[in-house]
Structure formats: structure tokens, C-alpha cells
């Protein structure tokens, strides 16, 4: 369970560049919730995810993961609760290390790094199995450097890494945006599979309204650092793009600006 | 044949510097930090060993303790740079320069205000010495081999892997719960520990420690790294073999150094030559990427296009 209580984040406070990126935002996600997050550029989506992950500390408000107050916990300590996949496929993996080494590091997320050997035989077998589950043939390339893989393959591995230690929260920030449409589709399907198999509480930012509607059990739209729309349950299931646009126009009193979101 | 006669000496000296180069490899290649602390910590290692040995009973045991103290001093030097970088948010290059400057004063203080300390091989049972390069060589080969083996094991552990990840991708490392600041500090300590050991060995080999012995050490270390990589990078992928390549790079550096000297070139020019070598080796891959690759790519595309027509 993830809870944000009146969270505010201001960048460059007191300067001409002052920007309230997240504004008194409150949100509660139940276990197993899969929330898709949409909103125009600069709406504060990434900032919200980064606050949860601990990249920034909020200026005010609280963040709770399973009732543990993580507001002041440093990023690397919080990582034990959180799996992340980034927009840039290069960000999620160590490209000079091979596939199994990357997975082994992810398997030790939030644990002490000891002088024990960095990878053992049993886990190697587990990785082989999990990789073959991706259906990309990566199980035969476990000792290849990740740097040699395509963006889609990297994202698939990053997803696997994020889910390895059953995180309490999975954060996906436009993790298919850098991929071609076909690969994006594969990675999205994989996302659904991994999320449902591991029953992961997930937040997925996307600029694609269709994806936001087709995936997850709840959809929030952000605007100016706040949650503008929060659609769940039956309403989410039956949601269409037209509904969404109409709701947006009603609530915000403005016409939806981003054409990109329509794609 | 002065060059041939000087060859064993060059090899021994190269092997001493190989340990220093391995230290540089850890920061420069694994952590992705250009650490200039080494110019200071190299001399620190020499000063600590020298002063300890001449002020103790001068037994073989005191040499061993002196080596250990040199290692410790190097670890502390790395710790200082690491803390300046991670706790004060100062870029690593500058952090290294600051520590290097601190060490200049520290090294002079250690040596009692003098610019050098003599560790006469006739008075003390030194581990290696210039008068016995042959013996020194095989002893050093064993030491370097041992260091490579230990590092190979270390960088295969959970901690070692997390340090490699830290140098490779900070964002990923943090997301995977790795304390990247701690890892940078550990890497810097390890590196400078090795560098100080190298300085302590050179002190024994040449029979004295000198306040200037580490000046430009970073460039020699980098030269060894780039020479080793240039010769072996295509064939060796294994970590231990890479460290071995770096060590051989250091030996080659000193052999070439001797050769150039035997040609009668002014030794004052050697530092400049070393720097130019490093600049070329580090610069060529970049120039290849920015200038040559686009040309080759364009040519290949053209060829592919015309090839397609031929087939049609
Ligand atoms: N590190 C930072 N320093 C200063 N301002 C920032 C920083 N990160 C984000 N911002 C600002 O905060 C606001 C929200 O940014 P954020 O990245 O959260 O938006 P977003 O909803 O993810 O947008 P996009 O769809 O473009 O990714 C923007 O105005 C942005 O310029
Ligand atoms: Mg964003």
C-alpha cells in the first residue's frame, strides 16, 4: 500500500525559476492497485514518482509505504520497497555488466552487499527460467553484456529486475516511450503479465491514453502538480477516450492541449 | 648495449608501477573517476615505509610492517578524497587535487621536513632492490599476481559487483538499493591503498623515498592502462586478464621509457611524452567515433545500396 499525504515539491524555491511541481497532492493506493497516470508535459508525473522513489524529499507532506513513513528515508534504503523502470532503456541496467550479473544485483536489492560470491548456481537457474518466460531468447545470452541488447530487451530485463524481489511498489515512468510501437506493445504485455503474476502495486506513467485506459484498474490524470481526475472500478473498466476528454474539459475548464496524449 | 643491460631494471620498475596502474584502473575504469589523489598517495606510501624502516630495528619484520602502514596510509588518503567528494559534494577531480595538496604537506611532515629519506639496501633487508633486478622481477611477478587474484575475487563478490555497477550506472545502482557514495569511497580507498603499496615498493627498489616521486604518477598509471587496453582489449574480456593487460602495459611503458632514454633523449621531456601518449590513446577512440565512423557508415550504406542494385 502506498500513501501520499499532502505532498508538495517546489523546485528552485525563491528564485525566478521557482516551480511547484507537485502541489499538496494526496493519493492512496491499495495493495494490488495498478494505477495508470496521464497528464500533459510538466504536470508533475515524474516528480511524483521520484518523490515516492526518494530522489527528492518533499517540502511538506508525508509518504507511507505499507504504513512505514519513508518520507526522509534515502533513495538507496527505500529501494528495498520499490522496483523501477525508467523511460530511457539505458538507465535501468548496467551496460558493462552481463545479463545475469544485472539480475543478481537486482536480486540483492535492499540487502547488505557482503563478501559472498555475487551470484550462485541456484539463482542462475532461476534467472534462466525467468528469462525464458520473457520469450525473447535471452536465456541463452545470460553472459552477454547488457550494452549489446536492444532497447526493448533492456526494458524487459529491467522489468524483470524490478519485479525480482517482489517490491511493494512498482514505478514505471513512460517505460515504453522510447521503443518502437511493436516493441512497446510487447513490453506492455510483459508488464501486465509480471504485474498480475506478482500481484504488484503499480504506478505507470504514460502519454498514451489508449494504454492508460487499457491497462490497470485505476487511472489518474494530473495537472499542475495535482490529481485532476481519479477514475476507478467499473467506471475505469468502461472508460473511453471520449469520456476522458470530456471529463477533463469539465473539470479543468480548458480544452485538452496535448495532441500527443491522443495518440 | 646499454638498453639491453637496462632491460631487467625497466621490467622490475614496470612491475612496481603495475600495482599503481591497477589502482588507477580501479578508479578510472571501474568507478569512472579520474582520481588525482594518487600523485600524493604514491609518495605517502614511500615516505611511510621509509620513515618507519629507518626508525625501527631495521629487521625484515619492520619492512613488512612498513608495507602494511603504507597500505593503511593509502587507504586513509582514498578515504579523505572519498569523503571530500561524497560528503561535501565536490567533484572527484577537485577532491583528488585537494587531497593531493594535503598529502604534499603530510608527506613532508612524515619525512621530518626533509624532501627525501634514504632506505639503503645494504643496511636494510629490503624486499626488492635495483642491484638485484632479476630477483626483484620474480618477487614482483608473484606480488602482482596475488593482487590480481585478490581483486578478481573481490570484484566477483556482492560488494565488488555493486561497486562495478556504481561506476557503470549511478541511477540504476541507486534504484537497486546500492549505497553509491559508500561504494565510491571504498573504491577510492582500495585504489589509493594499492598506489601507496606501489610507492613503498619503489622506495625499496630505488633505495629512497622522495617528495616528488609521485609527481605525474597518474599519467604513468593511465599510460599503463591505455597501453594495456590498446594491445589486449580485443582479445581479453575476463577481468583478471584485463588487470594483467594493465600490468603488462606498465612494463611496456618502462621498457619503451628505457629505450627512449637509450636513444639519448633528454629525460626532462619524458613526462611530456607520457602525457602525449595518454592523450593520443584516450583521444583516438573518440576521434574514431566522431570522425571515422560516420565516414565508414556512409560508405557502407552506399555500398549496400549499390550492392542491392547489382543483385537485382
Ligand atoms: N530537477 C528539476 N529541477 C527543476 N525543475 C524541475 C526538475 N524536475 C522537474 N522540474 C519541473 O517540474 C515540473 C514537473 O516536471 P515533471 O518532470 O514531473 O513533469 P512530467 O509530468 O513528468 O512531464 P513529462 O510528461 O514531460 O515527463 C516541470 O515544470 C519541470 O520543469
Ligand atoms: Mg516525466
Where do the domains of chain B lie?
A: 2-265, 268-312
* CB-based contacts of A259-263 (< 8 A; 24+ apart in sequence): A260/A41, A260/A207, A261/A38, A261/A40, A261/A207, A261/A208, A261/A209, A262/A209, A263/A207, A263/A208, A263/A209
With a 6 Å cutoff on the Cβ, whether A221 touches ligand 1 is no
pLDDT of residue B307: 55
Angstroms from B96 CA to nearest CA on chain A:
25
Q: How confident is the model at residue A260 (pLDDT cuts 50, 70, 90)?
A: very low
Residue in A with minimal Cα distance to B179 = A76
Q: How confident is the model at residue A248 (pLDDT cuts 50, 70, 90)?
A: confident
Facing residue for A96 by CB, picked from B168, B171, B180: B168
For B:173-192, CB contacts with A below 8 A are: 173-180
Determine contact, residues A22/A56, Cβ cutoff 8 Å.
Answer: no
Segments in chain B forming alpha helices (H): 2-25, 38-54, 60-88, 92-110, 133-154, 158-168, 170-175, 180-206, 217-232, 239-262, 270-287, 293-311
CB contact under 8 Å between B176 and A106, yes or no, is: yes
- CA of A44, nearest ligand number: 1
Question: Looking at the predicted structure, is the pLDDT value of residue A254 above 80?
Answer: no
- Write the CATH number of the domain with boundaries B2-265: 1.10.3470
CB contact under 8 Å between A76 and B179, yes or no, is: yes
For residue B227, CA distances in Å to A89, B143, B289 come to: 32, 21, 19
A29 forms bridges with which residues in the sheet? A2
For testing the chain B interface, which of A76, A143, A159 should be mutated: the one with the most B CBs within 10 Å? Answer: A76
Q: Whose CA is nearest to atom 4 of ligand 1?
A: A11
Looking at chain A, the number of H-run helices and the number of E-run strands are: 9, 10
Q: How confident is the model at residue A191 (pLDDT cuts 50, 70, 90)?
A: very high
Angstroms from B286 CA to nearest CA on chain A:
18
Answer left, alpha or beta for residue A54, where phi above 0 means left and psi between -120 and 50 means alpha: left
* Per-residue confidence in pLDDT tens, chain B, 312 aa: 678 888 999 999 999 999 999 999 999 999 999 999 999 999 999 999 999 999 998 888 999 999 999 999 999 999 999 999 999 999 999 999 999 999 999 999 999 999 999 999 999 999 999 999 999 999 999 999 999 999 999 999 999 999 999 999 999 999 999 999 999 999 999 999 999 999 999 999 999 999 999 999 999 999 999 999 999 988 888 899 999 999 999 999 999 999 988 898 888 888 888 899 899 988 888 888 888 888 888 888 777 776 544 443
CB contact under 8 Å between A116 and B157, yes or no, is: yes
pLDDT of residue A263: 45
Predicted ipTM of the assembly? 0.92
With a 6 Å cutoff on the Cβ, whether A61 touches ligand 1 is no
Residues of chain B in contact with residue A119, where contact means CB-CB under 8 angstroms, are 161
Determine contact, residues B84/B99, Cβ cutoff 8 Å.
Answer: yes
Question: Looking at the predicted structure, is the pLDDT value of residue A262 above 60?
Answer: no
Cα–Cα distance between B228 and B158 in angstroms, integer? 27
Q: Specify the range with the lowest mean pLDDT, choosing from A52-61, A143-152, A179-188, B271-280.
A: B271-280
Residue in A with minimal Cα distance to B166 = A94
Determine contact, residues A109/A76, Cβ cutoff 8 Å.
Answer: no
pLDDT of residue A53: 97
Residues of chain B in contact with residue A106, where contact means CB-CB under 8 angstroms, are 176
Q: Tell me the pTM.
A: 0.92
pLDDT in tens, B214-225: 999 999 999 999
Facing residue for A94 by CB, picked from B159, B160, B168: B168
C-alpha torsion sign, points B28, B30, B31, B37? negative
For residue A22, CA distances in Å to A204, A218, A234, A247, B64 come to: 17, 20, 28, 21, 60
Segments in chain A forming alpha helices (H): 45-53, 75-78, 99-107, 121-134, 151-164, 181-198, 209-214, 233-237, 241-252
Neighbour-count burial of B60, counting CB atoms closer than 10 A to its CB (0-12 exposed, 13-18 middle, 19+ buried): exposed
A250 vs A41, which has greater pLDDT?
A41
With a 6 Å cutoff on the Cβ, whether A223 touches ligand 1 is no
Cα–Cα distance between B6 and B19 in angstroms, integer? 21
Cα–Cα distance between B220 and B78 in angstroms, integer? 19
Q: Could you tell me the CATH superfamily of domain A2-262? A: P-loop containing nucleotide triphosphate hydrolases (3.40.50.300)
C-alpha torsion sign, points B161, B163, B164, B165? positive
Amino acid at each position: 500500500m502506498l500513501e501520499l499525504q499532502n505532498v508538495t515539491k517546489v523546485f528552485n524555491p525563491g528564485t525566478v525559476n521557482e516551480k511547484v511541481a507537485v502541489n499538496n497532492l494526496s493519493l492512496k493506493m491499495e495493495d494490488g492497485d495498478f494505477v495508470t497516470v496521464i497528464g500533459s508535459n510538466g504536470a508533475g508525473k515524474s516528480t511524483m514518482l521520484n518523490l515516492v522513489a526518494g530522489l527528492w524529499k518533499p517540502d511538506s507532506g508525508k509518504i507511507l509505504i505499507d504504513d512505514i513513513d519513508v518520507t526522509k528515508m534515502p533513495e538507496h534504503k527505500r529501494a528495498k520497497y520499490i522496483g523501477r523502470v525508467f523511460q530511457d532503456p539505458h538507465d535501468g541496467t548496467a551496460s558493462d555488466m552481463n545479463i545475469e550479473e544485472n539480475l543478481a544485483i537486482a536480486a540483492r536489492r535492499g540487502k547488505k552487499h557482503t563478501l559472498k560470491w555475487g551470484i550462485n548456481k541456484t539463482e542462475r537457474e532461476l534467472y534462466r527460467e525467468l528469462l525464458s518466460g520473457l520469450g525473447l531468447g535471452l536465456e541463452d545470452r545470460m553472459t552477454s553484456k547488457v550494452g549489446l541488447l536492444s532497447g526493448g530487451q533492456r526494458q524487459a530485463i529491467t522489468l524483470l529486475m524490478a519485479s525480482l524481489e517482489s517490491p511493494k511498489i512498482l514505478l514505471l515512468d513512460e517505460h515504453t516511450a522510447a521503443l518502437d510501437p511493436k516493441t512497446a506493445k510487447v513490453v506492455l504485455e510483459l508488464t501486465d503479465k509480471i504485474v498480475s503474476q506478482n500481484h504488484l502495486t503499480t504506478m505507470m506513467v504514460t502519454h498514451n491514453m489508449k494504454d492508460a485506459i487499457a491497462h490497470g484498474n485505476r487511472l489518474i490524470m494530473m495537472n499542475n502538480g495535482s490529481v485532476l481526475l481519479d477514475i476507478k472500478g467499473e467506471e475505469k473498466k468502461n472508460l473511453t477516450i471520449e469520456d476522458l476528454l470530456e471529463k477533463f474539459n469539465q473539470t479543468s475548464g480548458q480544452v485538452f492541449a496535448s495532441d500527443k496524449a491522443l495518440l | 648495449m646499454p638498453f639491453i643491460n637496462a632491460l631487467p631494471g625497466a621490467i622490475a620498475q614496470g612491475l612496481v608501477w603495475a600495482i599503481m596502474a591497477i589502482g588507477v584502473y580501479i578508479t578510472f575504469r571501474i568507478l569512472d573517476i579520474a582520481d588525482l589523489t594518487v600523485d600524493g598517495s604514491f609518495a605517502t606510501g614511500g615516505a611511510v615505509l621509509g620513515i618507519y624502516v629507518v626508525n625501527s630495528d631495521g629487521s625484515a619484520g619492520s619492512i613488512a610492517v612498513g608495507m602494511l602502514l603504507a597500505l593503511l596510509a593509502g587507504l586513509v588518503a582514498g578515504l579523505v578524497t572519498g569523503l571530500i567528494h561524497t560528503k561535501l559534494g565536490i567533484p572527484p577531480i577537485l577532491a583528488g587535487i585537494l587531497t593531493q595538496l594535503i598529502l604534499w604537506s603530510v608527506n613532508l611532515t612524515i619525512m621530518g621536513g626533509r624532501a627525501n629519506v634514504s632506505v639503503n639496501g645494504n643496511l636494510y633487508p629490503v624486499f626488492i632492490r635495483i642491484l638485484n633486478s632479476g630477483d626483484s622481477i620474480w618477487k614482483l611477478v608473484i606480488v602482482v599476481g596475488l593482487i590480481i587474484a585478490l581483486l578478481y575475487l573481490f570484484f566477483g563478490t556482492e560488494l565488488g559487483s555493486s561497486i562495478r555497477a556504481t561506476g557503470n550506472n549511478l541511477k540504476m545502482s541507486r534504484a537497486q538499493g546500492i549505497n553509491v557514495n559508500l561504494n565510491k569511497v571504498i573504491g577510492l580507498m582500495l585504489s589509493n591503498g594499492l598506489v601507496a603499496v606501489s610507492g613503498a615498493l619503489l622506495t625499496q627498489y630505488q633505495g629512497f623515498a622522495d617528495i616528488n616521486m609521485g609527481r605525474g604518477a597518474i599519467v604513468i598509471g593511465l599510460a599503463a592502462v591505455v597501453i594495456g587496453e590498446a594491445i589486449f582489449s580485443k582479445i581479453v574480456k575476463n577481468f583478471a586478464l584485463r588487470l594483467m593487460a594493465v600490468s603488462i602495459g606498465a612494463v611496456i611503458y618502462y621498457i619503451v621509457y628505457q629505450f627512449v632514454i637509450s636513444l639519448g633523449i633528454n629525460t626532462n621531456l619524458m613526462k611530456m611524452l607520457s602525457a602525449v601518449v595518454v592523450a593520443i590513446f584516450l583521444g583516438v577512440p573518440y576521434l574514431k567515433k566522431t570522425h571515422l565512423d560516420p565516414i565508414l557508415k556512409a560508405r557502407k550504406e552506399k555500398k549496400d545500396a549499390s550492392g542491392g542494385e547489382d543483385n537485382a
